[in-house]
Amino acid sequence: MAGSSGIIHYLQTSDAVTHGVAYVLLAMSIASWCFLVVKSWILARAKRQATRAIAQFWQAPTLSEGVAVLKRVDRERVFTPLAEAALHASEVDIPGALLARVERGERVLRALRQALNASQRRLEFGQVLLASVGSTAPFVGLLGTVWGIYHALGSIAASGQAQIENVAGPVGEALIMTAFGLVVAIPAVLAYNVLGRLARQLSDDLDGFAHDLHAYVCAPVEPAPVAARPRPASTH
C-alpha cells in the first residue's frame, strides 16, 4: 500500500491504545494456533490408537496384563487410567477400613467414575481458550476500530478539513482492527467445533470402556468344577 495509507501507516500513526489492542489480538492468535496444532495432534493420535488399544486390552488373559498392554499402546493415556482404577479397586482389601464395608461393585464404580472424569477433563483441556478467543476477538478488534475512528474524527475536526476524502481514509484504516479481530476469531471457532467433536467421540469410547470394565470386574466368579470322585471297585 501507499506510504500515506494502509495497515503500516495506520499502526505507525496510532496511539498506545491501538497498539495495545493489536498486541492483544496477536497474542490471542498465537495462543489459539499453538493450542490448535498441539491439541489436534493429541486428539488425532488418541483417536487412532483407541481401537487398537481396546482390542488388545480385551485379548489379554488377565486384568493386570491388560493394563500392561494399555500402557504400551495407549501412549496418550486416555484409556489406561480407567483400567488402572478398575484393577486397583478390585484388589483393595483392607480389613477393618471403611472402604472394606463398601460393596465391590460400588467401589469399582466410584473408582471408574473418578478416572473417567479425569480423562474427560484431559480431553477437553484448552477448549475454554478457543471458545474465549472465538467469542472475544471480534469485540477486541471492534474496540480498536471505535478508538481509531474517535481519534480520526477528532483530528479531522481539529484541522477543519471535513471533506469526504479526508474522512474516508482514516475511518477506513480504523476498520482494519475489526478485520484483525475476525481473522483471529474465525480459526478459533472452527478449531473449537472440530476438536470438540473429536473429544466427544473419545468420551463416548471412554464411557463404553468404563461400562465394560465395570461389568467385567463385578461379574460373579464361577466356582471351579469339582472333580468327580472315583467310584470304589465292586467286590462282586
Q: Containing H/E element for 139?
A: helix 127-159
Count other C-beta atoms under 10 Å from residue 142's C-beta: 16
Distance CA 140, CA 178 (A): 8
Q: Where are the domains of the chain?
A: 7-217
Of the listed ranges 52-56, 125-129, 147-151, 206-210, the one predicted with least confidence: 147-151
Whether 170 shows a pLDDT value over 90: the answer reads no
Of the listed ranges 31-40, 207-216, 220-229, the one predicted with least confidence: 220-229
Handedness of CA 169, 170, 174, 176 (dihedral sign): positive
Q: Which residue has the higher pLDDT, 16 or 166?
A: 16
Confidence of residue 126 (pLDDT cuts 50, 70, 90): confident
Collect all residues with Cβ–Cβ distance below 8 Å to 122 and sequence separation of at least 6: 77, 78
Q: Check residue 98 and report its DSSP letter.
A: G
102 φ/ψ angles, rounded to the nearest 5 degrees? -85, 135
Closest to 111 in 3D by CA, of 83, 80, 75, 76: 83
Count other C-beta atoms under 10 Å from residue 184's C-beta: 26
Task: State the chain's mean pLDDT as an integer.
Answer: 80
Distance CA 41, CA 131 (A): 19
Are the CB atoms for 205 and 50 separated by under 8 Å? Answer: yes
Output the pLDDT for position 3: 42
Average pLDDT over residues 182-193: 93
Cα separations in angstroms, 26 against 20, 31, 134, 234: 10, 9, 13, 97
Distance CA 145, CA 140 (A): 9
Tens digit of each residue's pLDDT (9 = 90 or more) over 220-229: 655 445 444 5
Average pLDDT over residues 66-94: 84
Output the pLDDT for position 109: 86
> Hey, what's the cell of 58?
480385551
Average pLDDT over residues 24-51: 91
160 φ/ψ angles, rounded to the nearest 5 degrees? 75, 10
Distance CA 196, CA 7 (A): 35
Output the pLDDT for position 131: 92
